[in-house]
A and B are shown apart, each in its own frame.
Chain A
Amino acid sequence: MGERGYDRIVRLVAAALAALVFLFLIAPLVVLVTSSFNQAGSMAFPPSGLSLRWYAEVLGSPDWQVSFRLSGLLVLLVVPTTVVIGTLAAYGLTQGSFPGRRLLQGFALSPLMVPEIIVALGLLYYFHGVGLVNSVTGLWLAHSLVALPFVVRAVMVSAAQLDPALERAALSLGAGRVRVFLTVTLPLLRPGILAGAILAAVTSLGEVAVTALVAGANTTTVPLRIFSAVQYQLDPSMAAVSTLLMAASVVVMVVADRFARISEAL
């Protein structure tokens, strides 16, 4: 009897601890979203009244508009770049058999293992030499480098489950290699490619560790503008931008999910 009660207490304590951890994870995000609707000009929490004035301010500001456009443009450049390079590589690395395959797999994921400050500094110094600092091209390449390992990893999961017999069947039925890749292989890899595309988009939208060093006055992405602003001022407009940035990530995920289901139904 007493033992059962003791069990229950232990279980309750464990559940309470878990609840605290989830609260810890979500608290900063909830505080941010809530204070973006604050009526007053301070970051006071809880807010004194609800208003959309900070959203109006942010969306009406030319500086922020430039940043929104730049961040959007980068997503449109980075996703296709990383998905094409990453999908080909993931396919070759999982389905192929050639000497040095394991080594190459490690190399493909290695930008994830190197401390972010080193990747950032390396690119800054390199971009200085070739005149890519403060350029959209520079950010496109930098974001692609950071996002690429996530795409490779995501597509590799799908590629590992790929049944080579299906491709062989298509080949024996007379389809050429390119046709097989486009009509058999790619559709089979779709879940991984889609996951990779989402990760690439979200990575580019939020990237700041490398951006903070290689961007300049003309290439201030949304997260970088938040980064600069947070160091000097605290006002609810930053919470509004942060909320918009989070919303953009959610939209990317939902749209991608929709798209996937639609094509599955076809």
Chain B
Amino acid sequence: MTRRRAGLPYALPLVAFLAALFLVPLVRLLRLSFSPVDAFNAALPGFTFEQYARVFTEPYFYGSLLRTLATALLVAVLCVALAYPAAYLLARRRPGVLRTLLFVIVISPLLTSVVVRTYGWVVLLSGNGLVNRALVGSGLRDQPAQLLTSYPAVVVAVTHVLLPFAIIPLTTALGGLDRNLHRASQTLGAGPIRTFLRVTVPLSLPGAVTGALIVFALAMGIYITPLLVGGVTQPLTGIRVYDQVTTVFDYPVAAALSFALLALTVVSTGLLAGVFRIWERRLHG
């Protein structure tokens, strides 16, 4: 009945823009990662796996890939765990001032530069920062701890930066739940914890999985936050790439390391999505 609407011409400026500034740079970077180099790391014509060989044999590089993967998994788990109580409260609150306020708190980190958010953690965790004052003041430690430039600081700050990405989809999923199911479970004798684990969690799983996957993928590539709170020696791939480019000027190795990270991100996100899908199918029969 209705005329088929073309639509494609409207998307052409976007296609041209992305081709010029996204595809072409990535393809050139990929080409560079396979280029032989001279003594000054300048690319020569030809084809070599030398960069990739370095990335997969030097622990400095492949160790960072493994550490990045482990960190991204840890951060995704932490974000979902922290998102549940927050999203639950947000979803169950009736619209009003408090709910708006809570929502603003959730999205405020998204509207604030990642540098500013991270800087807040630098202040909190510094030698005479609030956390150290609390530690010393409460007698838990007799002198300030070296919290900055530590791996736990990286995990805390990255979790903070990415937490909204877990809370938002989970709030949507929890908000769509039928409250009667909750009541039914309670009348059938399940306590609140059992109801949460057997009813709420399975039904909100798609939201939690979406959040976990987004957080995981973003955590794989994040580098400003870990660099600022953890320092340039943290064995994370983003930091290693940044370091290769800004201090060693070794672009080809940085390119190979980047594509190794991209491949690892795509493969592990796909695997996680698959595992979650099987889990969901088991739960819902």
Contacts and interface: CB of A to CB of B under 8 A. Distances in A.
B69 to A, nearest CB: 12
Interface in A5-22: 6-7, 10-11, 14-15, 17-18, 20-22
Given A45-B123, A97-B4, A246 B10 contact: no
Contacts, number: 265
A18 B85 contact: yes
A197 interface: no
Contact of A121 (B10, B115, B228, B241): B241
Contacts of A242: 113, 115-116, 119-120
Q: Say what secondary structure dominates the interface of chain B.
A: helix
Contacts of B222: 115-116, 209
B6 interface: yes
Contacts of B86: 18, 21-22, 25
B255 A31 contact: no
Given A125-B32, A234-B126, A92 B7 contact: yes
A16 to B, nearest CB: 9
A125 B251 contact: yes
Interface in B70-105: 82-83, 85-86, 88-89, 102, 105
A131 to B, nearest CB: 14
A246 B120 CA distance: 12
B160 A95 contact: no
B111 A31 contact: no
B240 to A, nearest CB: 9
Contact of A115 (B114, B117, B220): B220
Interface string B119-160: 111111010111001000000000000000000000000001
A22 B251 contact: no
B117 A230 contact: no
Given A89-B14, A164-B2, A209-B224, A28 B7 contact: no
Contacts of A174: none
Given A85-B17, A121-B29, A43 B111 contact: no
Given A43-B123, A117-B261, A126 B25 contact: yes
Query: Which of B6, B26, B113, B124 has the most chain A CB atoms closer than 10 A to its own CB?
Result: B113
Nearest to B241: A117
B57 interface: no
B188 interface: no
Size class of A's contact patch? Answer: 35 or more
A116 B191 contact: no
Contacts of A10: 191-193
Given A7-B192, A88-B13, A126-B25, A25 B109 contact: yes
Interface of B: 2, 4-11, 13-15, 17-18, 21-22, 24-26, 28-29, 32, 82-83, 85-86, 88-89, 102, 105-106, 108-109, 111-124, 126, 128-130, 133, 160, 163-164, 191-193, 217-218, 220-224, 227-228, 237-238, 241-242, 245-246, 251, 254-255, 258-259, 261-262, 265
18 contacts: A22-B102, A32-B123, A45-B133, A89-B10, A91-B7, A92-B6, A92-B11, A93-B10, A98-B6, A107-B15, A111-B22, A114-B26, A117-B221, A118-B262, A126-B24, A205-B113, A230-B119, A250-B111
For the complex of A and B, list the 9 residue pairs with the smallest distance between their C-beta atoms, beginning with the closest: A96-B7, A115-B221, A28-B120, A92-B10, A206-B113, A122-B25, A89-B14, A126-B25, A92-B7
Given A14-B88, A114-B221, 15 more contacts: A3-B191, A28-B160, A35-B123, A42-B128, A43-B123, A92-B8, A95-B5, A96-B6, A116-B238, A117-B221, A117-B238, A129-B28, A202-B111, A208-B115, A239-B119
